[in-house]
A and B are shown apart, each in its own frame.
Chain A
Amino acid sequence: GAGVSQTPSNKVTEKGKYVELRCDPISGHTALYWYRQSLGQGPEFLIYFQGTGAADDSGLPNDRFFAVRPEGSVSTLKIQRTERGDSAVYLCASSFSGAEGYTFGSGTRLTVV
């Protein structure tokens, strides 16, 4: 596609529920990143995929967070047993390799009530 697409754009869920956030990267981009941005802060790194494999998942805050990219294109960030502190904007970015910089999507605003 022309840009990085993230769906849904907004998600409201109840505490304790499971959510999935989807990222559709630019066609041909092998590198895919997930970041989380809290209000008034810069984005924080969560996980980086190179192809199908997670090259670096050191930013995932705990084992309730998990991400997959089974075919090396679309990625899904999964959050189990959501907590109010998970409320944030979740940003996805893709790149050919990472070295030349990324293109970010518009994000998914997750609100846990």
Chain B
Amino acid sequence: KQEVTQIPAALSVPEGENLVLNCSFTDSAIYNLQWFRQDPGKGLTSLLLIQSSQREQTSGRLNASLDKSSGRSTLYIAASQPGDSATYLCAWMDSSYKLIFGSGTRLLVRP
């Protein structure tokens, strides 16, 4: 059974710091990997999607990498801002397009 683990569970940083969120998965038969953002009481917003043939994707201050051999993905956030405060979820997608989510990292960026 696929398991997705996110570390740390919670993170509090001062504004301006660069930070890394980690995601690991047990099954390397991955179709793609997605990172989502979830604000309190809201649905999920897709941030980045990395296909299994890709190593990384970038969008603005966000960069996500994928290493299938080690079963890991990282989300790098540059120059963090208070507006980045949210829960970040990684999700592994299998060949039937079903997403398996981690429990998320709750990020607080302090002004």
Contact = CB atoms under 8 A, between A and B. Distances in A.
Interface of A: 4, 31, 33, 35, 40-45, 48, 55-56, 91, 93, 95, 97-107, 109
Contact of A45 (B89, B98, B104): B98
A44 B49 contact: no
Contacts of A41: 103-104
B102 A42 contact: yes
Interface in B1-44: 4, 31-32, 34, 36, 41-44
Interface of B: 4, 31-32, 34, 36, 41-46, 49, 89, 91, 93, 96-104
Contacts of A42: 4, 89, 91, 101-104
B102 A91 contact: no
5 contacts: A43-B99, A91-B44, A101-B32, A104-B46, A106-B43
